[in-house]
Chain A
Amino acid sequence: MKKTLCALLSGVMAAAAVLTSCGGSNTTLEEPRAEYTRDLAGTTLNVFNWGLYISDGSEGSFDVNKAFEELTGIKVNYMNYESNEAMYAKLKSGAVSYDIIIPSDYMIERLKNEDMLQKLDMSKITNYDLIYEKYKNLYFDENNEYSVPYNVGLVGLIYNTTMVDGTPDSWSVMWDEKYADNILTFNNPRDAFAIAQFLLGIDVNTTDKAEWDRAAEKLKEQNKVLQARVMDEVFNKMEGGNAALAPYYAGDFLTMQENNPDLAFVYPKEGTNIFVDSVCVPANAANYDAAMMYINFLLEPEVALANAEYMCYASPNTAVINNPEYEYYQNEILYPSNADEMNTEYFYDIDIETRTYYEKLWEEILLAD
């Protein structure tokens, strides 16, 4: 038995050694728009980002981090988180120092208010002029001092055309008894409540407890037709034809549609959530200058293009949006032509008291029949 285990362990380690020496992909920037020096070569940059949120060389794509390392000689440590809250917990504890984080809008507001971010040196981020005007001066960073947009997204309704009659155009279809046990919704309170709030015409950032109660009642009504509350399982559920309706992000719909052409997407008339993920630098960052270089690098047309095509979300970078060779150039789903008429709302950071209140409501909803 001992022998088996020893052989196993050593075999497994040998495999590991062999595996790490393999690999190779596209890692050179053809035409850099900005100047990059090797002054900081040998230093490290700690990046903390969502999973699958950067072009990493798979499927022949551009490997952003490798390219940056080649260009500047700075070593990139790349770690992931699966939610804003998880990132916040790690950051707040002060346990680790990161140089780059990519939170969502409301989280940036919270971090800024808690003095956990530091200002960016815009003179070093020369590619900033590429950012689309619409995504400058956003509510959480009115003077564009703390963040640079990375990704833009919209929530919409995904539905299976073989299981749903006609073309739904309202969030109310998610309460329709016709589709009982075939309806999915978000497994987190903010996104789930937002749908009810849009339907009832309530502000998604309200602090009025009575309004949250109304939305909660609406959500409780939905329980009897719900199949499940999901996040990542939505891919398998919709692609596999296990459910008829699900709210999710536009870019992810495109991925799902590739695997199941029966799926369609619509932006309900009552309005929907728009979000922006931006690059920020924490207050306790150790390598500020490298961070500036990295942000500038992310804005490079080639890099932004690779990222946009990899993630399938909308890009805030004009060099991508106006590029006819961009895979999603003028894609109606990602860049709806009637975007200005749509009622899109950003999530703001809500005060802890209201947050605790709606979380309590959420628990009640989960436990109600």
Chain B
Amino acid sequence: MKKRSLMQRLLGAPYILWAAIFIIVPLIIVVYYSFTDSAGNFTLDNIKGLAGYKDIFLISIEYSLIATVITLLISYPFAYIMSRKKESTQRIMMMLVMLPMWMNLLIRTYSWMNILEKNGIINNFLALIGVEPLKMIGTPGAVIFGMIYNYIPYMILPIYSVMAKIEPSLLEAAEDLGSNGFSKLRRIILPLSMPGVVSGFTMVFVPSVSTFYISQKLGGKIMLVGDAIEKQIQSLYNYNLGAALSLVLMVLILLSMALMKKFAGDSGDNILV
């Protein structure tokens, strides 16, 4: 036991040190700015000033949640089908899922605009077959779609990597004992894949709430909390308000995650706790 705990400590030490310096200290800086004004005096004005941003917070969380759930609904079957393929196929599929994200974000977004624009590829095609053009850019749908597109691989990969190891013999045994497709899913696949689902959910929901670029380009007129923070910090050089907004965002995300953990129950317990 002693040997194990020494090696354990060694394993964790680099990370703890790294986190202390490069995650905790910057966090303290953020907290410091949230509770001070530009002269460095303690104040609660920044936090109080956030009341006006209530709507933006709600919209951002709403969009992210919708995007994350849809991403999950698409990624789950995708990951499952992927995990049942030949191993060499699985490897190729994994790379192919990630590859589109190697294209620069700006270029990806421009290309989507090309496709979804008023005079874009989809509408030109619809015109050919005599259908009315659709308004896609500038709608909340476009923003949510943008979020889904940019984060899908981050949901597929963790779920897939867990599903890949679900023993096929387990499923065969279940079938032999009379289980049909749906109950197989519910009783075997779902619980066993939960750790991957929870990870995936985190990696999609959390960053998408604070995203800013996508909403500007695809949304056109919509402002999300990421945009608001960026504006405070960059345009107004108001680190105090920007930090406060970010701190509150962090708290909101933590609350949402805690709620979700409760919802996922014990199966989610192992990963994040």
Contact surface of A with B, Cβ cutoff 8 Å: 1, 4, 8, 83, 85-86, 88-89, 92, 181, 187-189, 223, 226-230, 233, 236-237, 240-243, 355-356, 359, 363, 366-367
Query: From A368, which residue of chain B is reached at the shortest CB distance?
Result: B221
Convert B189-231 into 0s and 1s, putting 1 for each residue whose CB lies closer than 8 angstroms to a CB of A. 0000000000000000000000000001100110100001001
User: What CA separation (Å) do A92 and B138 show in the bound complex?
Assistant: 35
Of the candidate stretches B14-22, B110-118, B172-180, the one touching chain A is B110-118
B22 CB to nearest chain A CB (Å): 16
Contact surface of B with A, Cβ cutoff 8 Å: 52, 55-56, 91, 95, 110, 113-114, 117-120, 135, 137-138, 216-217, 220-221, 223, 228, 231, 233-238
User: What CA separation (Å) do A86 and B235 show in the bound complex?
Assistant: 8
Query: From B228, which residue of chain A is reached at the shortest CB distance?
Result: A363
Q: Which residues of B contact A83 (CB under 8 A)?
A: 234
User: What CA separation (Å) do A230 and B109 show in the bound complex?
Assistant: 14
Residue contacts A-B, CB under 8 angstroms, 8 given: A8-B95, A92-B237, A226-B221, A227-B138, A228-B220, A242-B117, A363-B228, A367-B223
Q: Please determine whether A4 and B110 come into contact, CB atoms closer than 8 angstroms.
A: no
Q: Please determine whether B220 and A355 come into contact, CB atoms closer than 8 angstroms.
A: no
Given A4-B95, A240-B119, A240-B120, also A85-B235 (CB < 8 A): yes
Q: Please determine whether A356 and B236 come into contact, CB atoms closer than 8 angstroms.
A: yes
Query: From A359, which residue of chain B is reached at the shortest CB distance?
Result: B236
Our pick among B119, B217, B228, B234 for the contact of A242 (Cβ within 8 Å) is B119
A191 CB to nearest chain B CB (Å): 12
Q: Which residues of A contact B110 (CB under 8 A)?
A: 233, 236
User: What CA separation (Å) do A86 and B236 show in the bound complex?
Assistant: 11
A302 CB to nearest chain B CB (Å): 33
Query: From B38, which residue of chain A is reached at the shortest CB distance?
Result: A352
B92 CB to nearest chain A CB (Å): 9
User: What CA separation (Å) do A140 and B234 show in the bound complex?
Assistant: 22
Q: Which residues of B contact A181 (CB under 8 A)?
A: 135
* Main secondary structure on A side of the interface with B: helix
User: What CA separation (Å) do A97 and B216 show in the bound complex?
Assistant: 31
Our pick among A228, A359, A363 for the contact of B221 (Cβ within 8 Å) is A228
User: What CA separation (Å) do A346 and B237 show in the bound complex?
Assistant: 22
Q: Which residues of A contact B223 (CB under 8 A)?
A: 363, 366-367
Q: Which residues of A contact B114 (CB under 8 A)?
A: 236, 240
Q: Please determine whether A89 and B233 come into contact, CB atoms closer than 8 angstroms.
A: yes
B226 CB to nearest chain A CB (Å): 14
Q: Please determine whether A241 and B119 come into contact, CB atoms closer than 8 angstroms.
A: yes
Q: Please determine whether A355 and B221 come into contact, CB atoms closer than 8 angstroms.
A: no
User: What CA separation (Å) do A302 and B120 show in the bound complex?
Assistant: 41
Q: Please determine whether B220 and A89 come into contact, CB atoms closer than 8 angstroms.
A: no
Q: Please determine whether A359 and B231 come into contact, CB atoms closer than 8 angstroms.
A: yes
Our pick among A85, A86, A227, A363 for the contact of B220 (Cβ within 8 Å) is A227
Q: Which residues of A contact B135 (CB under 8 A)?
A: 181
Q: Which residues of B contact A230 (CB under 8 A)?
A: 220
User: What CA separation (Å) do A336 and B236 show in the bound complex?
Assistant: 34
User: What CA separation (Å) do A236 and B109 show in the bound complex?
Assistant: 12
Q: Please determine whether A366 and B221 come into contact, CB atoms closer than 8 angstroms.
A: yes
User: What CA separation (Å) do A229 and B219 show in the bound complex?
Assistant: 9
Q: Which 3 residue pairs across A and B have the least CB separation, nearest first?
A: A228-B220, A242-B118, A242-B119
Query: From B233, which residue of chain A is reached at the shortest CB distance?
Result: A89
Q: Please determine whether B233 and A355 come into contact, CB atoms closer than 8 angstroms.
A: no
User: What CA separation (Å) do A356 and B91 show in the bound complex?
Assistant: 52
Our pick among A85, A241, A356, A367 for the contact of B234 (Cβ within 8 Å) is A85
Query: From B137, which residue of chain A is reached at the shortest CB distance?
Result: A228
Q: Please determine whether A88 and B237 come into contact, CB atoms closer than 8 angstroms.
A: yes
Q: Which residues of B contact A240 (CB under 8 A)?
A: 114, 117, 119-120
Q: Please determine whether A89 and B119 come into contact, CB atoms closer than 8 angstroms.
A: no
Q: Please determine whether B220 and A1 come into contact, CB atoms closer than 8 angstroms.
A: no
Q: Which residues of B contact A229 (CB under 8 A)?
A: 220-221
Counting chain A CB atoms within 10 Å of each CB, the highest count among B52, B56, B119, B135 belongs to B119
Our pick among B91, B118, B120 for the contact of A1 (Cβ within 8 Å) is B91
User: What CA separation (Å) do A19 and B240 show in the bound complex?
Assistant: 44
User: What CA separation (Å) do A240 and B223 show in the bound complex?
Assistant: 25
Query: From B95, which residue of chain A is reached at the shortest CB distance?
Result: A4
Q: Please determine whether A356 and B237 come into contact, CB atoms closer than 8 angstroms.
A: no
Q: Please determine whether A85 and B228 come into contact, CB atoms closer than 8 angstroms.
A: no
Q: Which residues of B contact A187 (CB under 8 A)?
A: 216
Query: From A239, which residue of chain B is reached at the shortest CB distance?
Result: B119
Q: Which residues of B contact A367 (CB under 8 A)?
A: 55-56, 223
B207 CB to nearest chain A CB (Å): 21
Our pick among A1, A89, A237 for the contact of B117 (Cβ within 8 Å) is A237
User: What CA separation (Å) do A83 and B235 show in the bound complex?
Assistant: 9
Q: Please determine whether A356 and B238 come into contact, CB atoms closer than 8 angstroms.
A: yes
Q: Which residues of B contact A242 (CB under 8 A)?
A: 117-120
